[in-house]
Amino acid sequence: MTAYNCMSRQALEEEYQKVLSQYDDCKRQNLNLNIARGKPSSAQLDLVMDMLTTITDIDDCIADGVDTRNYGELSGLQCAKDYWASILGCKSNEIFVGGGSSLTLMYDVISKAFTHGLRRSERPWCKEEKIRFLCPSPGYDRHFMVTESFGCELVMVPMTVEGPNMDMVEELIQDPAVKGIWCVPKYSNPDGIIYSDETISRLANMKPAAPDFVIMWDNAYCVHEFEGDFVPFKDIITLCRDAGRPEMVFEFASTSKITFPGSGISCMASSVDNIAYMTKLMGIQMISYNKLNQIRHVRYLKDKENTLALMKRHAAILAPKFEMVTSILDREIKPLEFATWVKPKGGYFISFNTMPGTAKRALALCKEAGLTMTSAGATFPYGIDPNDSNIRIAPSLPPLNELKTAMGVFCTCLKLAALEKLLA
């Protein structure tokens, strides 16, 4: 195979006819495939079915003397705080245990910042003229949408292989209107990179102009290696505590990709004072979270060691899918030299950069052929990728045979969109 940019116009036209015919074959199959979202597969959910019968008797429902069946313990059961503290590497009293969704806890923090202010806020953010929020991109569309929904100005910061471009971050935070930054520090969504120690240290040591600047540290993939052993990771809560600005960060995690998505337990971690402040505000909206689900999870997952053993079983299902995606890309796309990607070792995504100016078109072609993927641009603020190049691949949901078909369609569409552009 020859790289597209080395082909003559005639060769490109021949290739175009060949790929077009492959695309027509794809369409004729009336496919209905979805690799849009980081959803675990049925096989992964089957792994944890025993959790449903962990709690059956009255005695099972008593934890640390608390009857978990009744109201109470707004900030979470002690055993659930201990569990999350061991996973994240912070202290138990820096943990608030939530319901099934860490995204909801993130929203709670931003929402309360707007209506009530954070602990160091001079006034609620809704009383500020403008709020700017840093969005390392490509990033997670749901993060960006939370801050967009409240009318923040989203400021794009390019991602590097070590995390967000810190020179730019350190410059931007001199603006007191810049109130925070979204981060997925381990197996970042979608790039799959791990922030370097230097990046993390620079983040923890920031001196933002806004007294209530907040690092939204979504540690969604904290134990989600699918290749190799667990990678130890610096705890941001400890680092910010040590840097003398313990209140600058809220960290989030959940069991959505450990047990059952949306039916697991989540947590937020921050300074003891921040947790006390948030607990008071949360007490207005809620008496207590589902503690039966907390005790169910703690009894089932037990501790970090046992959780990591379970993650190995998830990895055994996930790894072949990532392997398949990258091997097909290596075979079909790499020699054509119009796209780049990196195979991650954890997380749920592959970040794929196709020929600039062709991502939207490629995904429109996918859709027409029955393959749903994350929308083009979704990984950028306001859904606008300035290069129209980044595509997030989420290989976890379909079984291997479907994934293979999906990748075939995907490669065909990428080629077709690239050829259309080259021939335009």
Which residues, 147 to 206, sit near a copy of itself by CB under 8 A? Answer: 149-150
Binding mask 386-405 for a copy of itself (x = CB under 8 A): --------------------
> Cα(383)–Cα(379) distance, rounded to whole angstroms?
7
**Which residue lies nearer to a copy of itself by CB, 254 or 412?**
254
**Which residue lies nearer to a copy of itself by CB, 237 or 282?**
282
Question: What letter would DSSP give residue 258?
Answer: T
Inter-residue contact 95 to 260 (CB < 8 Å):
no
Q: Any idea which residue has 């402040």 for tokens? A: 277
Strands 178-183 and 214-218: parallel
Which residues, 95 to 154, sit near a copy of itself by CB under 8 A? Answer: 99-101, 103-104, 107-108, 111, 114-116, 124, 126, 142, 145-146, 149-150
**Which residue lies nearer to a copy of itself by CB, 152 or 210?**
152
The CB-of-318 to a copy of itself minimum distance in angstroms stands at 15
**Which residue lies nearer to a copy of itself by CB, 39 or 415?**
39
Among 10, 71, 129, 401, which residue sits at the site for a copy of itself (rule: CB under 8 A)? 71
Which residues, 48 to 67, sit near a copy of itself by CB under 8 A? Answer: 49, 52-53, 55-58, 67
- By the rule CB under 8 A, 331 interacts with a copy of itself: no
**Which residue lies nearer to a copy of itself by CB, 39 or 361?**
39
The CB-of-286 to a copy of itself minimum distance in angstroms stands at 5
Q: Which residues contact 228 (CB under 8 A, 6 or more apart)?
A: 345
Alpha carbons within 13 angstroms on the beta-carbon side of residue 402 total 15
Inter-residue contact 222 to 88 (CB < 8 Å):
yes
> Cα(303)–Cα(290) distance, rounded to whole angstroms?
20
**Residue of 216, 195, 256 lying closest to 396 (CA atoms):** 256
Radius of gyration of the chain (CA): 23
Q: Distances in Å between the alpha carbon of 345 and those of 3, 157, 257, 301?
A: 28, 24, 16, 23
Report which secondary-structure segment, H or E, holds 275: helix 272-285
Alpha carbons within 13 angstroms on the beta-carbon side of residue 295 total 23
**Which residue lies nearer to a copy of itself by CB, 201 or 372?**
372
The CB-of-330 to a copy of itself minimum distance in angstroms stands at 30
Q: Distances in Å between the alpha carbon of 9 and those of 362, 374, 416?
A: 21, 32, 15
**Which residue lies nearer to a copy of itself by CB, 46 or 305?**
46
Contacts with a copy of itself by CB under 8 A lie at 37, 39-40, 42, 45-46, 49, 52-53, 55-58, 67-72, 99-101, 103-104, 107-108, 111, 114-116, 124, 126, 142, 145-146, 149-150, 256, 260-263, 281, 284-293
